Amino acid sequence: MGTFTLPKPIAKSKEVVVVRRRDYEKFIKLVKTRLEDELELDRSLTKALKQVERGEVFGPFDSAEELMRSIEG
């Protein structure tokens, strides 16, 4: 195992975390994936809200039968 010395300002700040590079890269990949998922969700919700504003929605329905009648025409 290697040894290294932290510069005093960093060592005094007590905000240093040392992890293996492999673990760090997995963490970064996970964060990026989640951020992309959140952005996609935001885009989908924005699109859906615009459709509601334009009246491009069906429903609400009180029953499955009512939904089926709406779909069938």
Q: What would the pLDDT profile of 41-57 be if each residue is shown by its tens digit?
A: 999 999 999 999 998 88
Q: Would you give the DSSP letter of residue 54?
A: T
Q: Is 13 helix (H, G, I), strand (E, B) or coil?
A: helix
Q: Binning pLDDT at 50, 70 and 90, where does residue 34 land?
A: very high
DSSP letter string, 23-72: HHHHHHHHHHHHHHHHHHHHHHHHHHHHHHHTT------SSHHHHHHHHH
Whether the model clears a pTM of 0.85, i.e. scores above it, the answer is: no
Under a CB-based contact definition with an 8 Å cutoff, are residues 70 and 59 in contact?
yes
Which pLDDT does position 12 carry in this prediction?
Answer: 82
